[in-house]
Structure 1
Amino acid sequence: MAAHLLSLPLYAVDCPRGGKARWHSASPPPPCRIVLADEIAATGRTMAEACGFLRGLGYDVLTLTLFHDPASRFIPDLSIPAPAYIQFPWEFRDRSPGTLAARMNGRVSHDSEEDFFGVDLDGVIAPDIRRRQYRRAVRSGEIDRLVAARSKLAMNPQTSLPPVDWRRTVIVTGRPECDLAATRAWLAEHGLGTVPVYARPEGIPPEASAAHKARTIADLGITHFYESDLLQALEISRLAPATAVYWWGRNPDRRFRVFAASAIGGKS
């Protein structure tokens, strides 16, 4: 894009994470001025390595990125500080050391780009209340008793849980925030007490649960999300197209990645 806008020839430098920079295309004859462009300087190590490589060959280098993390060790000549988490549509990994530190309490190296998981609670970790049973309880005024009985349910078998690293996982649920204490107690009882839980804020109706989950996914930069309800999974995929969303049904043959129309370029 930068080469096109500036009407300049485009050359490519390859710089693998933690490795040495090298030309990935033909190279312009030095000495000349080069604009070294990338989308973001996260840790800054790759940009610093590539810049040092080019300057060592005698080029006059101007560095350009769309954004840089304020914690980056290398600040480009032309760049905008990233105001928060930055996730480009073509990427599914962590991009900001500041975000990593805040989100994972410093447990992850700033030099890594790793998957970050989100999991629905009811239907994935805990047995879900069937819709027919739920509607019947609403009509009869026994919904509070039904929800209270949920705390006595056993967790779904380990073999049926999604293949996630629970150290890099959060739970995003449609349960209201008023249920958080009971929910956390249930999770602690079943060995998941350290997993963060994001419940539906007060004032957001149950029918907007998918939108709540999609907003949370985007805010946290979740790369993979497992949802038990197919319609919600499709809506989440539409609202959070950069995230890989999986429908995680009760049966193993109903567990696969879903794509909403708008997430693949169509209209919903």
Structure 2
Amino acid sequence: MPTHNDKWSGNAYLDYNTIALKLDAMANDVRGGQFDAIVILLRGGTFVGMHMAFLTGLPVHFIRYYRPNASVEWVGPAPEPKTKLLLCEDSAGKGKTLLNCRNFLLSQGYTVSTLVVCKMPFAATTPEYSCFDWTNDDLQVLFPWNRYRINGESRADALPDHEYERTAWDMDGVFLNDIERNVYDEDIEAALIQRDNTPLAEYAPQVSSKDIVITSRPEIDRERTETWLRQFGIDVSVVLRDEGELDASPEFKAQWKGRKALELGYTHFVESSAEQALYIASMYPELRVTWFNRGKSTIPESVTWIFKRTTKIA
């Protein structure tokens, strides 16, 4: 099981479309800056830099920063000498990455301005262009390209980003066919026996030992749930609904599942109910939510601009 990353316990998620719209609105100002080229700071500046390159027609160059020794190097050819450059990164924060990269370009004789998605509080450098001037130091910004940071293990930065992604799975409708609601209403004991004897669904997915099942089944069903999973060789941890949480509405179940996934450091959630999948995607847009429809996977269109916590962006 991944570790919970306290840094992202309260976060604001910016999706691609929201960022792109801000860049679109900024394009005229950037074109007016008479830049000769865009320099993308790998890897965080890739989306913002490439998007702005399409909006302006400017050529693109790349640099890489090494934190251990604060060194900078070109990746590929450098721009023509003594030209005016727009350096692109995802955020300007308290660290020295953007500052050191800017100084590197200045030392080589270039004129430099910077463009970021977010200028964070107490930033070490002030960018000339920023999509958002972030003022809430208690709320972290999460970008689509660093969703893996939800997993606290990613603090080590020892693996490729995707190796930190972890999936939480719904159970009924994913590994076995759902029992109809009316069967539970008529005779719950008979329904539970029927569920216990239901075979593994032909559409059941292959899962990793690093995955988890998060189900709205109550905690009292733990033994029978784990027994059913083990008989089919599904060896993953299981999180069940707390006994005191009795609301059976799809909205409540979705809220509970999404919250649990984030609390435990999971980046993806696979849900068999289309309604619950949409609720999870809208409530927790930082999760990559998939609707699992009898083996067919669909990513629901999530709400463009939603936060886990109340905040404002200037």
Please state which band the TM-score falls in when normalised by the shorter chain. 0.5 to 0.7
Deviation at 1:175, TM superposition (A): 0.9
- In structure 2, the partner of 1:147 is 192
Matched, 1:161 2:204: yes
Query: Residue 169 of structure 1 aligns to which amino acid in structure 2?
Result: D
In the TM superposition, what are the counterparts of 1:187-206 in structure 2 within 5 Å?
187-193=229-235, 195-204=236-245, 205-206=247-248
**TM-fit CA distance, 1:77:** 4.7
Cα displacement (A) at 1:122: 0.6
Paired residues for 1:236-247 under 5 Å: 236-247=280-291
Which of 292, 298, 314 does residue 248 from structure 1 map onto? Answer: 292
SS in 1 for 2:226: helix
CA deviation string 1:88-128 (max 9, x = no partner): 3x3463126x71259xxx8x944423443221101101222
Q: What is the CA–CA distance in structure 2 between the aligned matches of 1:167 and 1:49, rounded to whole Å?
A: 41
Structure 2 residue corresponding to 1:118, chosen from 163, 168, 180 = 168
Match of 1:140 in 2: none
SS at match of 1:191: coil
2: CA distance, partners of 1:12 / 1:206 = 52
Q: CA deviation at 1:249?
A: 2.3
Larger RCO: 1 or 2 (CA < 8 Å, sep 6+): 2
Identify the residue that residue 70 of structure 1 maps to in structure 2: none
Deviation at 1:147, TM superposition (A): 1.9
Cα separation, 2, equivalents of 1:255 and 1:35:
38
Residue 87 of structure 1 pairs with residue 142 of structure 2? yes
CA gap of 1:52–1:220, structure 2 versus 1, over 3 A, is: farther
Match of 1:99 among 132, 148, 152: 152
Change (3 A) 1:169 1:85: farther
Structure 1 pair 55–242 and aligned structure 2 pair: CA distance change class (3 A): same
Which piece of structure 1 moves more, 236-245 or 14-23?
A: 14-23
How far apart are the structure 2 equivalents of 1:36 and 1:55? 15
Q: TM-score, normalised by structure 2?
A: 0.54
Q: Deviations over 1:163-188 (max 9, x none)?
A: x6514422121111222233223222
Contact conserved, 2:170 with 2:272, CA < 8 A, in 1?
Answer: yes
Matches within 5 A, 1:8-19: 12-16=38-42
Q: CA deviation at 1:22?
A: 5.0
The count of corresponding residues between Structure 1 and Structure 2 is: 235
Q: Distance in 1 between matches of 2:146 and 2:88?
A: 24
Mind listing any 5+ residue stretches in structure 2 that lack a counterpart? 1-21, 44-62, 65-72, 126-133, 307-314
- Aligned residue number for residue 182 of structure 1: 224
d(CA) in 2 for partners of 1:144 and 1:24? 70
Contact 2:39 2:87 in 1 (8 A): no
CA distance in 2 between counterparts of 1:226 and 1:175 reads: 16
Q: Relative to structure 1, is the Cα distance of residues 47 and 161 closer, same or farther in structure 2, using a 3 angstrom cutoff?
A: farther
TM score, norm. by length of structure 1: 0.61
Q: What is the DSSP-based 3-state SS (H/G/I as helix, E as strand, rest coil) of the residue aligned with 2:173? A: coil
Distance 1:46 1:132, change over 3 A: farther
Shift, 1:25, TM fit? 9.6
Within 1, Cα distance between the matches of 2:207 and 2:232?
16
> Counterpart of 1:257?
299
**Distance in 1 (alpha carbons) for counterparts of 2:243 and 2:92:** 36
Give, in whole Å, the separation in 2 of the partners of 1:48 and 1:136.
Answer: 67
| CA distance in structure 2 between the aligned counterparts of 1:161 and 1:255, rounded to whole angstroms | 12
